[in-house]
Amino acid sequence: MRRLSAALVAGVLLAAGASAAPPAKDAGPPLTPGAVRDCPLCPELMTVPAGSFVLGTSADQPESSRQTGESPPLPVTMHRPYAVARTEVTVAQFRAFADATHYTPEAGCRVWANGAWVLSRDRDWQNPGFAEPQADTEPVVCVSWDDAHAYLDWLSKVTGKKYRLPSETEWEYAARGGTSTARYWGEHDSGAFDLLTSVCDYANVYDTSGVPVHGFPWANARCNDRYASLAPVGTFKPNAFDLVDMIGNAREWLQDCYTTSYAGRPADARAWEWAGGCDERGVRGGSYATPPERSRAAARGGERQSTRQQDLGFRVARDVE
């Protein structure tokens, strides 16, 4: 596994100091046009415009899941623009945080073995158990909701800006990229029953490349994206907001408490949380392990806040100043 250069690590450590000014925004790797970065190893951010959309899916749609509460759909208005990371948080970005703070998550991660997701005490974000060592440019996985928040707290201190997880409405609005179809590249182009499909151009889902490696007991997309497990972030085509991997690659933590209904939730950008907290948090986006019919903008689920799993990571968001 590659390590960060001493110069980059030193820069991050300096930025974390109480008396240090935030590093220059133009430092670090080249920026995607239209993106901003608040520190050399901070995630790239894209501005998502204000607007309105319909959260969820109509019950008469063939892929709609009543069990997860994505219907009936809910009209939502996003009153202000906000910033969302262009990609999921990478191994290199999370390592910069861990090295700077000496943060050590609990050992143990759920991995796919013998036909089920099982807890392996020997696995963690640095060694999630894939056949090949993870690249620095792949999404960090095997991180809990609390691990994600520890990273966000550090990133906020480094930059002087308040970073957070996206709310569920922010996530789906960003994932749709201004479209109303099930996927930002089409409606029913899932690949499960289609002889011709575009899913492997846009998303790293469970496809033919993953069948001999994982053998998940559900349908696979009938195409080959060349990545049986995680892919480097930004490998696939972006949506109209220039966001990548919103569907596929790694599932992503949300700020919201998870419930199998939209009844009573705010019809705006706010996260839906309980005053006393909650054990289960929303998860969106699907992963390399997700079947085609679940690889949609509206598909939703939840995990216990303490869950660490081989296909579960996160992306960051913050307000636009």
In tens, the pLDDT along 86-136 reads 999 999 999 999 999 999 999 999 999 999 999 999 999 999 999 999 999
The Cα–Cα gap between 137 and 242 comes to 18
Query: Average pLDDT, stretch 154-175?
Result: 98
Q: Is the model's pLDDT at 13 over the cut of 80?
A: no
pLDDT band at residue 55 using 50, 70 and 90 as cut-offs: very high
pLDDT at 191: 54
Name the pLDDT band for 63 (thresholds 50, 70, 90).
Answer: confident
- What is the rounded CA–CA span in Å between residue 169 and residue 298? 10
Tokens found for residue 238: 């972006």
Q: Which domains does the chain have, with CATH numbers?
A: 1-321 (3.90.1580.10)
Residue 170 and residue 212 in contact, taking contact as beta carbons nearer than 8 Å: no
More confident residue, 27 or 78: 78
Question: Which residue(s) pair with 282 in the sheet?
Answer: 302
Q: What is the pLDDT of residue 195?
A: 52
Q: What is the pLDDT of residue 197?
A: 72
Model confidence pLDDT, tens digit, residues 285-298 = 999 999 988 999 99
Closest CA relative to residue 92, chosen from 16, 161, 40 = 40
pLDDT in tens, 238-264: 999 999 999 999 999 999 999 999 999
> Of 19-28, 192-201, 213-222, 275-284, where does mean pLDDT reach its minimum?
19-28
Res. 18: pLDDT tops 70: no
- Name the more confident of 54 and 66: 54
What confidence category does residue 277 fall into, taking pLDDT thresholds of 50, 70 and 90?
A: confident
Going from the C-alpha of 64 to that of each of 49, 205, 257, 259, 296, the distances in angstroms are 27, 18, 21, 16, 10
At 193 the pLDDT is 55
Nearest to 155 by CA among 107, 91, 98, 81: 98
Query: Does residue 25 register a pLDDT over 70?
Result: no
237 close to 245: Cβ distance less than 8 angstroms: no
Share above pLDDT 90 across residues of the chain, in percent, rounded to a whole number? 79
Predicted confidence at residue 188, as pLDDT, reads 67
192, pLDDT greater than 70: no
**What pLDDT, on a 0 to 100 scale, did the predictor assign at position 20?**
35
123: how many CB neighbours lie within 10 A of its CB? 21
Residue type present at position 215: G
Tell me the C-alpha to C-alpha distance, in Å, between residue 292 and each of 51, 182, 192, 248, 287: 28, 11, 6, 10, 10
Q: How far is CA 306 from CA 106, 117, 127, 135, 253, in A?
A: 10, 15, 18, 25, 11
In this predicted structure, the answer to whether residue 190 has a pLDDT above a threshold of 60 is no
Q: What percent of the chain has pLDDT over 70?
A: 88
What integer pLDDT is reported at residue 194 of this predicted model? 58
List, edge to edge, every strand of the sheet that includes 280-284. Answer: 300-304, 280-284, 251-257, 312-313
Instruction: Give the confidence band of 79 by pLDDT, cuts at 50, 70, 90.
Output: very high
Under DSSP, is residue 307 helix (H, G, I), strand (E, B) or coil? coil
Q: Which two tokens stand for residue 176?
A: 């749709």
SS3 292: helix
